Amino acid sequence: MKYAFMLTTALATCLCAHLAAAQGPENEEGITAANVAAVIKPEYSPYAGRSYPTRPLFGDTHLHTAVSVDAGTLNRVGQEDAYRFARGEEVLSTGGLRAKLARPLDFLVISDHAEMYGLMPQLLAGDPEVLSTEKGREWYAALTSGNFDTVFATAMAIVGSLSGDEPPIKSEKAVRNAWQAYTALADKYNDPGQFTAMIGFEWTAIGGYNLHRNVLFRGDASVANQTLPFSQFDSKNPEDLWSYMAQFEKRTGSDVLAIPHNGNLSNGRMFTVESFDGKPLTKELAAKRIQYEPLIEVTQIKGDSESHPFLSPNDEFAGYETWDRANLNGTEIKTKDMLKYEYAREALKTGLKLEASLGVNPYKFGFVGSTDSHTSLSTAEEDNFFGKHSGVEPEPHRWEHVVIQAPKPEFNVYGWQQAASGLAVVWATENTREAIFDAMKRKETYATTGTRMTVRFFGGYDFTPKDAETRMPATAGYQKGIPMGGDLPKAPAGKAPTFLVAAMKDPISGNLDRIQVVKGWRDAGGETHEKVYDVAWSDGRVPGPDGKLPAVGNTVDVARATWKNTIGDPELITVWSDPEFDPKQAAFYYAKIIEIPTPRWTAYDTLRFNIKMTDNVPMTTQERAYTSPIWYTP
Amino acid sequence: MWATENTREAIWDALKRKEAYSTTGPRMLVRFFGGWDFVPADAQTRMPADAGYAKGVPMGGDLLTAPAGKSPTFLAAAMKDPLSGNLDRIQIIKAWADADGKLQESVHDVAWSDGRKPGADGKLPPVGNTVDVANATWTNTIGSPELIAVWKDPDFDPKLRAVYYVRVIEIPTPRWTAYDQKRFGIKMSDNVPMSVQERAYTSPIWYTP
């Protein structure tokens, strides 16, 4: 110990001031000039000077608290506890359960509904501003009446008013108070380098057709306070939301972006080829959309919108936690012809078509996942899932309770159908609002269904298998290519794009089954196509005569809600080159990584509550990640 | 350090109760509990520490007087460092003073990867080696990302003092000399080792009659 200390001291002294002294006769520690010259070479550490993102940040861009008018009728957990929970502290749920995450999130956007922002807590507290309105006094009296039927009917009326044409309570002052209380809280919990509290809100148009967007701010409270949340009472047209955003940016010099979600519940409206008014899409509108909406939320509790088996019949992994019976509130049946305007993979293809006709691709978006939880608790973990809203928090019967009540019972959505999903993963250079926002703008993001796997995806023309034989794929990735969300340059003559893709398991989740690359392209005739390639997989499996890889197997012990990582691999990496590349065809490529089967949240509920669910309830799941695409444009 | 929080006080307290382990560099997670009632089902869970603390003492702790007819049982679990090699095996090392006061030791493989079968001599075959020395890299295609087992001392004598600790061994990975060789484009002499099996040693659990 003492010797080591002396050596260190001697070395430090040499380095600091007396390089010349070491050139004399060999000293007792054996330090020579050559030793010192070697030590001071600056190129040794492979981690020094890295300017690219080195650690994925896991977060949620879509969380509701008691401040949202709908959540607030049941939810009694406020924004402050939502932050405390997300950064790893234990809080109490509305139902009185102790709640804590296995691991903290790196960032959180509390995106309460813009409509009558902050109304419910104000109503319940008898806020003078709200009670100065007639409706405010009426609702306050009803909610404090102590009569269950009156309280329930009033709560339903309040939730319903969220999608009306006029806000029943119109108080700019009340909204401003709530908004500025929120932005102050976000600034308080924003802890650069440790935990990012990005400011945001949800614009909630239109009724059951779910054109909802979350609007995220790059700046702090002093910036966000220069506006009020834009609500569907201001306009139900997303084009007006983009105008609001444009004006805000011009006025403040600070950027905003919007993330649409639940295309799967829009009944054919999310990714259309028309304007909101049903006119042909223009180049200007397409450009505005992709400028303000660089990302979509592709997976969340109300189902996954990446792909649908009807649209991708040759993809055995198409469809995950699929909700495809009706629109958001179950007021309109969904028909097959609507699906192509709802699912992300098809929308990416539609974007290639529109780009050919308009010169701009409005659907050149990247992916994030998030929860859209209305419990203030961002839980995407299968073994720690607090549900969609406070009415379906953990208890023995939540699996059979109605989560979304439809006019026709066959369109009701039941508790067991909820997906414990998802997460937004960002390759940012540091954990700050600015770095996360900038990564979102360049689409260097991926979505997961709740698991925290690490995924790299790079495209270029010069990746070789050797680039996959390293423990630091990102070094080759950034040197020789562009990361997820980027554009491939023009193809050099005779070359096809190559992709370096790598995935590492979440240490506390399942091993990996396979990596797929999903390609979509536009042919010479203007038609679009898709193909899914298995590019890396576990356990040395050999594809069958039909070219399909055998399934990875299943180690789930449903009764114990556990599994073994004895199948699958802890990490997968490969270099893949497109074997069917045509330099004249526009294309996109994204990676999809699939875990081995693990218990679904319903298996944990079955075990913990010692209940039996009906046979139609799935008990296992294969968690997955979707990277933002890389585009090739001839 | 298994401390309840990252503070001077909590780390100090964990040091004092010896709830700590050492590694040769990798950041593997290692749990080690001793008690009288661990059963194989305790290893069939994703949260071994729940059973560990409920039914036993953690690394650094003491087992006192054995209940009549019972042998100590141990719950040992390890999870790989996400950035390092997979795991080869978990061993439990037992040392004791026999009835004559002579010191004895034995090493038990209690969990291992790849479904290997011990040979005729009772020894587990080596895990293999994927290290590519020239490129200073390896693949995690052998070994396991995690290992867990419940082990019961088969030769327990309640009258004899004993001590048990866990050693977790990774698959071979490049030693720093391999990285130096590659980065500086040099050749070292043949006696310089180029791969290493990183490992972790937990604090022991003592049995004192």
Pair type for strands A413-414 and B56-58: unpaired
Q: Note the pLDDT of residue A32.
A: 75
For chain A, give the percent of residues with pLDDT over 90: 88
What is the interface pTM, i.e. ipTM, of the complex?
A: 0.86
Kindly state whether residue B91 falls inside one of the protein's structural domains: yes
pLDDT of A565 over the 70 cut: yes
Average of per-residue pLDDT across A482-498:
97
Kindly state whether residue B38 falls inside one of the protein's structural domains: yes
Confidence class for position A471, pLDDT limits 50, 70, 90: confident
Q: Note the pLDDT of residue A42.
A: 57
Query: Which CATH number goes with the domain that contains B65?
Result: 2.60.40
pLDDT tens over chain B, length 209 residues: 999 999 999 999 999 999 999 999 999 999 999 999 999 999 988 889 999 999 999 999 999 988 999 999 999 999 999 999 999 999 999 999 999 999 999 999 999 999 999 999 989 999 999 999 999 999 999 999 999 999 999 999 999 999 999 999 999 999 999 999 999 999 999 999 999 999 999 999 999 98
Kindly state whether residue B17 falls inside one of the protein's structural domains: no
- pLDDT tens digits for B36-76? 999 999 998 888 999 999 999 999 999 998 899 999 999 99
pLDDT of A2 over the 80 cut: no
Kindly state whether residue B3 falls inside one of the protein's structural domains: no
Q: Note the pLDDT of residue A40.
A: 60
B86: chain A residues, CB-CB within 8 Å: 570
Exposed / middle / buried, residue A172 (Cβ in 10 Å: 0-12, 13-18, 19+): exposed
Q: Note the pLDDT of residue A533.
A: 97
Number of compact structural domains in chain B? 1
Average of per-residue pLDDT across A245-271:
97
Q: Note the pLDDT of residue A43.
A: 73
For chain A, the average pLDDT equals 93
Question: How far is the C-alpha of A285 from the C-alpha of A266, rounded, in Å?
Answer: 20
Question: Among A504, A517, A620, A627, which residue's Cα sits nearest to residue A568?
Answer: A504
Average of per-residue pLDDT across A270-285:
96
Q: Which of residues 87-126 of B touch A (CB under 8 A)?
A: none
Confidence class for position A39, pLDDT limits 50, 70, 90: low
Whether A560 sits inside 8 A of B45 (CB atoms) is: yes
Confidence class for position A469, pLDDT limits 50, 70, 90: confident
Q: Which of residues 468-507 of A touch B (CB under 8 A)?
A: 469-471, 504-505, 507
Average of per-residue pLDDT across A208-232:
97
Q: Note the pLDDT of residue A36.
A: 66
Question: Among A341, A323, A343, A321, which residue's Cα sits nearest to residue A333?
Answer: A323
Q: Note the pLDDT of residue A1.
A: 40
- Which sign, positive or negative, has the C-alpha torsion A104, A107, A112, A113? negative
Q: Note the pLDDT of residue A207.
A: 80
Encode A115-168 in three state secondary structure. Answer: CCCCHHHHHHCCCHHHHCCHHHHHHHHHHCCCCHHHHHHHHHHHHHHCCCCCCC
Q: Is A145 on the interface with B (CB under 8 A)?
A: no
Encode A587-600 in three state secondary structure. Answer: EEEEEEEEECCEEC
Nearest by CB to B86, from A471, A566, A570: name it: A570
Exposed / middle / buried, residue A66 (Cβ in 10 Å: 0-12, 13-18, 19+): buried
Confidence class for position A470, pLDDT limits 50, 70, 90: confident
Domain that holds residue B96: 25-121+142-171+199-207
CB pairs A-B closer than 8 Å: 42
Nearest residue on chain A to B139, judged by CA atoms?
A: A469
Domain regions of chain A by residue span: 2-39, 57-441, 453-632
Which of A212-221, A296-305, A442-451, A562-571 comes out lowest in average pLDDT? Answer: A562-571
Q: Show the tokens assigned to A81.
A: 């506890």
